[in-house]
Amino acid sequence: MARRTTPPPPEDFEEHILDTDIQQEMESSFLEYAYSVIYSRALPDARDGLKPVQRRILYTMNDMGLRPDRGHVKSARVVGEVMGRLHPHGDGAIYDAMVRMAQPWSMRLPFIDGHGNFGSPDDSPAAMRYTEARMAPAAVAMTASIDEDTVDFRPNYDSRELEPSVLPAAIPNLVVNGTTGIAVGMATNCAPHNLVEVVQALRHLVKDPRATLDDLMRYVPGPDLPTGGKIVGLDGIRDAYETGRGVFKMRASARIENVTARRKGIVVTELPYGVGTEKVIERIKTLVQAKKLQGISDMKDLTDREHGLRLVIEVKNGFVPEALLEQLYRLTPMEDSFGINNVALVDGQPRTLGLKEMLEVFLDHRYDVVRRRSRHRRGKAADRLHLVEGLLVAILDIDEVIQLIRSSDNAEQARERLMEVFELTEPQATYILEMQLRRLTRFSRIELEKEQSELQRTIEELDAILGDDALLRTVVSDELAEVAKTYGTPRRTVLLESAGAPVSSAVPLEVADDPCFVYLSSSGLLARTATDEPPGQGGGRANHDVVVSAVRATARGDVGGLTSTGRLVRIGVLELPQLPGTANDPHLAGGLPVSEILALEPGERLLALCTLAADGPGLALGTRQGVVKRVNPEVLNRDDWEVVRLADGDEVIGAVELTTGAETLCFVTTDAQLLHFGADAVRPQGRSGGGIAGVRLTAGATVLWFGAVDPDAPEGSVVVTASGSSTALPGTEPGAVKVTPFSEYPPKGRATGGVRCHRFLKGEDALVFAWVGTAPARGAADSGAPVELPPATGRRDGSGVPGSQPLAACAGPVAARFGGRPDGSSDGPSDGPSDGPEGAGSAPAGVEG
């Protein structure tokens, strides 16, 4: 490899070495760099609220004619123009500033109308060769009247062009959009505000320049962030408005919803300013993995363009969503701080400004802009009026003017002769020589006279503005009102004095394992109560709200559910919704359909609920073919278990959890036979047992109802039966209803046929409904409407009273059912209103309507 050698200096070369102190050189170089960063890059001007790069972008786009009514152009074209003409820095810095001005989540009032992928709070934008841009309507207000000598211009970096030192800025951009920047030894961070509120404060300040901060805060109570959310605590805001420095807390907007039928979730719709969903999700994942945050089962980011931000955080069963939300605020960016530091350039010097100072600087700038604009327009109008007056002089003697011009040797001689003969000035004579002949008509004279009067009126109005400060303030105030009307939007951020007492200090994160009741309704709804007090006998009962089974449990415990196929399924109580009613007025309006909890086979029904205690008399069940079985309690501790072996075509028709073992088991068949015997007559069996004979059935008959009756109930028990035709369409049976005291029926031995309980009339051949329970009883039709039952009569007193509509369910007093025996045999009514979402009008456990 060849070595490079330095050529020797020429013979006449003289060496001069200048000694410089390194400390002095570093100080001067660093000071120059600091000045450049402060004044030319990082800090905004307090008048238009723009940094140099932002100002140059808007000025260049205005020069290129990229207005809102024109088409978009490639962003790379705009960046190239700005970089080549005005901004001697890299294209990345220019494009980043341009992208920020186009993002509605970064600026409260965007100045760039972007077309393409301009990023998101979490993602960077596409390259500038892929995106397009043009000026937004608000940017037009920032550059309006810039060509009317309203602002000063200065040379660009190579002194080949001029650029504005500030924009006319009809919008108070520094307050409305805020800004952020880091210079050398100082930084700025201004919060965005609502345009309408800021304009109201400005107009009040125009009217009363001595207004106090409290007066202005009546119009500007606090920042209005582009992403909405909430601001908690206003003390820091007042400090910032007074001194230019302050801190306030931003909080996400979230609500608690039922994200699924079985789970609640926290739905986040707005995040703090500058916080993206990915940042929140990543932080939550880190906390969950570190086991510092519990109770979250899943997170879904459902954000789209149609519905906006939607972050769904699913809460595990057993955790209080309100307490979890408080932990999310405390541990994640869903609550963040914003430090206000209002540093901006005023008269070329960085200053920390309060709210009133920022508004006053902007108003002074607008006064100067309107004054200079008026002066410029007056000069233009006066020049035009001067020319119009010369034209009117020429038109009065147009023939002589034409003759004079024709007789002149050249244009210069014609100009001098016009000035001498008609006493015109040089601009007037030049304008007449350049005028077209078509302007020299009678109609043109009328137009010129009209224009002359309009120009004189315009000059008078502009002179009034220039000569009267009060009128100048009025013009500025009216223009601000028009800006607010054109570009103003409603407030997005909610201001809160304080967050109140933290939920986590009063409510535990996890649901307490308190005693409760679990309900199963005739319409197939499951729910739990918030108390272990049995419900009272309140007002009327609405449709589909008959409780057919209820068991005591705890909020974090489990209960069992027996299905018509003989399966015993474990049900977690926490998965069930809590009843919205009170203990004295329960209802199942918020209940959960059984199909949302259990995976049932086609045709399989949930019949009854039971506890999963390993001791006690166990569970008794009866099948459609007359089989009865008592299940040992030891088999009731599985998640999903068959508790009876059924024959082909058989199914469980009723089930009840025994409490004492002294209950009376009862069968009612479709051929109107009733059999009851003591539960001690049935020997308990294990899981694989198929049961024993319960009732002897005649040919074609099946079991219609099975349950248990408490022989010691003080109110006594009744038997409710309804007859009809087995060949009639469902719901059209003529039917008759009969109510009989249970004591009228003598007990018979197990596996016998029982006794007659209902006599059929003409057209009737079967029972279509049967129920045995504690009196007084109520009925419910297939539609769920209450049905009045006839009074109790003797067993041999006829076939019953004709029913107005077919029965579907029946119930006795609710309090009796919970008197130490909450089983499925005593079906009680629930006294609150409800319309069950599934299985409307279906029969309760052990009942087939």
Residue 300 backbone phi and psi in degrees, to 5: -135, 130
The amino acid present at 747, given as its one-letter code, is: P
DSSP 758-776: ----TT--EEEEEEEEESS
Per residue in 699-713, is it b (16+ CB within 10 Å) or e — as a string? eebbbbbbbbbbeeb
- Give dist(CA 37, CA 799) in Å, integer: 102
Burial category of 637 from C-beta neighbours within 10 Å (exposed 0-12, middle 13-18, buried 19 and up): middle
- Give dist(CA 180, CA 178) in Å, integer: 7
Closest CA to 849 of 745, 762, 722: 722
Q: Does a cis peptide bond (omega within 30 degrees of 0) precede residue 776?
A: yes
Distances in Å between the alpha carbon of 594 and those of 521, 547, 837? 10, 14, 10
Strand locations in 588-651, DSSP E?
592-593, 606-610, 619-623, 627-631, 640-642
For residue 570, the cross-strand partners are: 560
Distances in Å between the alpha carbon of 251 and those of 304, 464, 509, 545? 21, 51, 20, 42
- Give dist(CA 80, CA 83) in Å, integer: 5
The amino acid present at 38, given as its one-letter code, is: I
Closest CA to 244 of 46, 78, 485: 46
> At CB < 8 A and 24+ separation, what contacts does 529-532 make?
529/578, 529/579, 529/583, 529/586, 530/578, 530/579, 530/583, 531/583
Distances in Å between the alpha carbon of 352 and those of 43, 217, 245, 275, 504? 11, 19, 8, 26, 39
411-421 and 398-406 helices cross at what angle (nearest 10)? 140
Please answer whether residues 721 and 742 qualify as being in contact, where contact means their C-beta atoms are separated by less than 8 angstroms. no
- Catalytic one of 130, 273, 329, 487: 130
- 130 in active site: yes
- Terminal Cα distance for the chain, rounded: 104
- Give dist(CA 84, CA 161) in Å, integer: 11
Q: Which two tokens stand for residue 732?
A: 């059209």
- Catalytic residues, by residue number, are 130
